[in-house]
Structure 1
Amino acid sequence: MLDLRRFTGRDMRISDKLMEFNWGFLLLLAVISSMGFAMLYSVADGSFSPWALKQMVRFVVGAGIMIVVALVDLRLWMRIAYPLYAIALVLVTAVDIVGFKGMGAQRWLNLGIIQLQPSEIMKVAILLALARYFHGLTLDEVSRLKNLIIPLLIIVVPVGLVVKQPDLGTAILLTVSGGVLFFAAGLAWRYFILGGVAVLAAIPVVWDRLHDYQRNRVFTFLDPERDPLGAGYHILQSKIALGSGGVFGKGFMAGTQAHLNFLPEKQTDFIFTMLCEELGFVGGLTLLALYALVLIYSFSVAMQCRNQFGRLLALGISVSFFFYVFINSAMVMGLLPVVGVPLPLVSYGGTAMLSLMFAFGLLMSVYIHRNLEIARGNNAFW
């Protein structure tokens, strides 16, 4: 039976951990989320329902989850990393069997009281599993071919299931985030070169297997004007909204593209466009600056951590968060093809919000236990 006393409270009291908790970081997340609440309030034409109030409640619940997760000893998270990954994998697999469709993709599970998107949970679980695995290897062991089979399977299996939903954006995020942990663990450059060559060679095969709408997204990215009322409509309206906002915007709740319903999915994927239309270049730059502060702090936590598990976990969370922000903001600007990647803490979505706050709780646990030394090697887990 698992003795929790081995992992909690032995080295630090709860009161000490609460003192170590970076409340300023939580405040920063609250400020970013508040910008999302304001936009969701505006989307609903000055009403807290159906989006803003629910998102506020989710953030409060997420903040509670973040604090609880942060107070748990980092060694416990390392020990249960594989079971958490297994649970996430079962949920992702269940989507293909009993999941229901929304916006053309089968990505959600209906659990009665809540609707769950397991791929969002997998984004965190895959980082935990890889961080634990690579913690158990020395630098020389990381690049041995036999030691790469398990971490590759950790990535490939859920990516294959997510692609089948289909959710190409999330699949790319899972792959890139996992690849970064391979790099951070010290994998030799020759494997990345071989991987790059393999990706280039696989492009014709992947292209042939893409859905028609996915190919259209690529064509639209290259030339949005080819179908302005069809496939190119979303990105063209997004660019119009971005440009019409100017330097200071049209004013809160005064965005014409959004409120006249020219802008699609303005509460989720295109919420950054709405923000820029109403608050202008200054508003958009402010949000990106706040995101930059989150990233700077996250990377600093990774650099301060004295154990490999915490260092890799913090780095994985930081990189995953960066790609969330980068892909969504670049997508609505027309710099990347349109994919279903929400803007973290701002876009409407329950599972995305709660899983991200859980991830930030893990990041804070790494920070609180940054001076904890955990022995390397396979026996370190036990």
Structure 2
Amino acid sequence: MNQVIERPPLWRRLAPLVQGYDLPLLVGLALLATLGMVTMYSVGFDHGTRFVDHGRNLLLAAGLMFIVAQVPPQRLAALALPLYTVGVALLVATALFGITKKGATRWLNVGVVIQPSEILKLAAPLMLAWWFQKREGQLRTVDFFIAGALLLLPVGLVVKQPDLGTGLLILFGGLYVLFFAGLSWKLIIPLVATGVIAVTALVLSGDYLCQPEVDWRVLHDYQKHRVCTLLDPTKDPLGKGFHIIQGMIAIGSGGVPGKGFMKGTQTHLEFIPERTTDFIFAAFAEEFGLVGVGVLLALFTLVILRGLAIALAAPTLFSRLLAGALTLSFFTYAMVNMGMVSGILPVVGIPLPFVSYGGTAMVTLGLSFGMLMSIARTRRLIRA
């Protein structure tokens, strides 16, 4: 007697691909992306295809997230060392053979022009999480120093390009791994205290240090100008201080309810520079006001808290360290962007996640949240 085997329906065959995804995280990301599309439609209506291109970039990020989410965390761990090695090698090649634009050597032609420093935003925390996973159960102080050296190597190469903003993002991504791995407070407190003392001294002596004849040596001139502009943007209101001043005016003019969708005067009269990229938060705050900013902050908080919850429930040390670092890196992107637009941090060219226009940043976000989804899926499927 011939046995008839019924083929399961398509939805059942596709179910394993979507089973186990973290719904709160997906909802938070979807709402952020929707808010980004609405904002881009308003601020980018006279920028040609910016709105359409932003939608394409979001779809690309979603596709990458879906693909990477299918990769188990143990496979991600296996990619850590090769990805880190390739990333550092490309940074060295950039220093030797890279393309220089506006005094910075940040790009490399490998058939297509790439910015290798972007690779290290993910490769550095991956590498450090892999390292501590290998040392689990036998961690010593020297292991933290080795991890610090692994982190400072790419950071130093990126800062030398010069690209202080990306270098700081890579640094913080790695420091989060060190912190979650159990870095002693005896080392953390002196570093924090040194930073507080340095910032205080800079603020108190800013008038002298920002004189043209004073050479900061450790920083490039443009980096010195950014810090001095932060301390007093009114010294050059039509030049280096223009960005910060116009951003603060736009944020303040929005008030509580905002001026309304497509009704931002600072935005549409083109007083806000880079309004589709780095300064899109100023345009958003002008049109949607304090209420809109509160909604945006709530969505960022939802994503960050959910990411930390995934890290807390992760089944392995590697997964916990990676999930925690990726989540706090996302927090850093949002905090630094909103801080620089609001005039409380220097302008460093960091986009607002899922809201600012940019293909490279969106690819990085898609890969990051793909890894986070992979960790969440693995935990849920194990429990199931």
Which TM-score bucket, shorter chain as reference? 0.7 to 0.9
The letter of the residue matching 1:213 is Y
Q: C-alpha deviations, 1:283-319, integer Å up to 9, x for none? A: 1221111111100110000011121000000000011
Aligned to 2:356: 347
Q: C-alpha distance in 1, partners of 2:242/2:176?
A: 34
Q: 1:163 to 1:249 in 2, by over 3 A?
A: same
The letter of the residue matching 1:78 is A
Q: C-alpha deviations, 1:135-182, integer Å up to 9, x for none? A: 11235x43422x234312221111111112222122112212211211
Q: C-alpha distance in 1, partners of 2:37/2:104?
A: 26
Q: C-alpha distance in 1, partners of 2:23/2:54?
A: 21
Contact in 1 for aligned 2:117/2:166 (Cα 8 Å): yes
Q: How do 1:219-234 and structure 2 match up within 5 A?
A: 219-234=228-243
Q: C-alpha distance in 2, partners of 1:14/1:75?
A: 23
Q: C-alpha distance in 1, partners of 2:89/2:302?
A: 35
Contact in 2 for aligned 1:167/1:340 (Cα 8 Å): no
Aligned to 2:95: 96
Shift of 1:232: 1.2
TM-score w.r.t. the length of structure 2 is: 0.85
Say yes or no: does 1:55 pair with 2:51: no
Residue among 302, 308, 322 paired with 2:317: 308
Cα root mean square deviation, aligned? 2.6
Q: 1:301 to 1:351 in 2, by over 3 A?
A: same
Q: How do 1:1-382 and structure 2 match up within 5 A?
A: 15-16=15-16, 18-45=18-45, 49-101=48-100, 105-109=104-108, 115-138=113-136, 141-145=138-142, 147-193=143-189, 195-196=191-192, 207-370=216-379
Q: C-alpha distance in 1, partners of 2:111/2:136?
A: 45
Aligned to 1:3: none
The letter of the residue matching 1:121 is I
Name the SS for the 2:107 alignment partner: strand
Contact in 2 for aligned 1:143/1:187 (Cα 8 Å): no
Unaligned runs of 5+ in 2: 1-12, 203-214
Q: Percent identity?
A: 44
Shift of 1:199: 6.3
The letter of the residue matching 1:33 is A
The letter of the residue matching 1:29 is L
Contact in 1 for aligned 2:247/2:279 (Cα 8 Å): yes
Q: C-alpha distance in 2, partners of 1:332/1:210?
A: 22
TM-score w.r.t. the length of structure 1 is: 0.85
Q: C-alpha distance in 2, partners of 1:202/1:41?
A: 42
Q: 1:354 to 1:285 in 2, by over 3 A?
A: same
Contact in 2 for aligned 1:45/1:259 (Cα 8 Å): no
Q: C-alpha distance in 2, partners of 1:162/1:182?
A: 20
| Structure showing greater Rg | 2
